[in-house]
A = this chain, B = another copy of it.
């Protein structure tokens, strides 16, 4: 399946939570499948921290890899593009086609860099809503996403209660935990300490790659479970019989992290990493209800399928249960499943069959108008 990157350019300024607004915002999006005649089969897929609009298919038959959730989305797959019209967008603040800190500010004519406004998850969702409006969709069948994608999903249900029939927040939370805020702080310090960062004014050919790689390596540890690390690497040495007694990578797990860091800097921008992680820090559905999640969710209309993974310690099951319990207090319709998995947070991308079957069946039920 071939998917084509498209752009939605906003004619009106986009108001933001920080009080500023952005002119000339562009949101990159892709679609797969066909919108039916009453526009009732659209599913918005929200990506995680470093994802993009390319959720499935290939841009060109020669592409080595398909979109990031191709195992889940496509003709005949769990999110069946023969049946549904699937939309992926790149988040506001990103670096994969949507307006972000490296974009040129149409007002100043120069790249925003650190002058980009600090955006929130609600700002990302506000931008996505315009894309959905642009596509002529009044009500989405579902909004689905994991991790930071799940935060967007939850925000959709709160910001636009009648804009979707169902939501599927996966491996996520109603607010970002202090432990996760702390990890983000350290990750951003690693970037800002890089001599090439220059307060955000780096040249593309001389970017803070080492700092960004360090941030990614740290994040990567939090995506894996201790079990995965033990099973996959243990204390194995990297192509050697004994320790080198130095600071190069002796251990397989060290080589693996280095590889992940190196690969990441080829595709991601350091300033975008700062802004997007900050948006996750700020995410708190209960900010305006004094911590009361049931109150925050009391106007939602969508049916919920909440999914967590047993070994996910970045977004542990009890954070999903907090959402479920708040919805039950509100007498809302909610299904919940903790999938047993050893993969940690990454399970939301790896446990395709267990998750896929559940999502497929849940979506089928939503098709029946009640």
What is A's interface to B at a CB cutoff of 8 Å?
17-19, 117-118, 175-179, 181-183, 185-186, 188-190, 192-195, 210-211, 213-214, 217-218, 221, 224, 226, 229-230, 233-235, 243, 245-247, 249-251, 253-254, 257, 274, 278, 281-282, 284, 313, 316
Contact of A178 among B194, B218, B235, B281 (CB under 8 A): B235
Query: How often does this chain occur in the complex, in copies?
Result: 2
A251-B281 CB under 8 A given contacts A186-B257, A193-B211: yes
The answer to whether A284 and B235 have CB atoms under 8 Å apart is: yes
- 16 CB contacts below 8 A, A to B, read A118-B247, A178-B229, A178-B233, A178-B234, A179-B224, A179-B229, A179-B230, A182-B229, A182-B254, A185-B254, A186-B190, A190-B193, A190-B214, A193-B214, A235-B284, A313-B313
In this complex, what residue of B is CB-closest to A175?
A: B235
- Chain B neighbourhood of A178, CB < 8 A: 226, 229-230, 233-235, 251, 253
The answer to whether A246 and B118 have CB atoms under 8 Å apart is: yes
The answer to whether B181 and A253 have CB atoms under 8 Å apart is: yes
- Chain B neighbourhood of A282, CB < 8 A: 243, 250
Assembly CA distance A195 to B193 (angstroms): 8
- Chain B neighbourhood of A185, CB < 8 A: 217, 249, 251, 253-254, 257
Assembly CA distance A173 to B322 (angstroms): 34
In this complex, what residue of B is CB-closest to A252?
A: B178
Q: Least Cβ distance of A349 to chain B in Å?
A: 19
- Chain B neighbourhood of A245, CB < 8 A: 17-19, 117-118
Contact of A193 among B117, B193, B253 (CB under 8 A): B193
Assembly CA distance A68 to B278 (angstroms): 36
- Chain B neighbourhood of A177, CB < 8 A: 226, 229-230
- Chain B neighbourhood of A210, CB < 8 A: 189, 193
Q: Least Cβ distance of A121 to chain B in Å?
A: 12
Assembly CA distance A219 to B243 (angstroms): 23
In this complex, what residue of B is CB-closest to A224?
A: B179
Assembly CA distance A229 to B179 (angstroms): 6
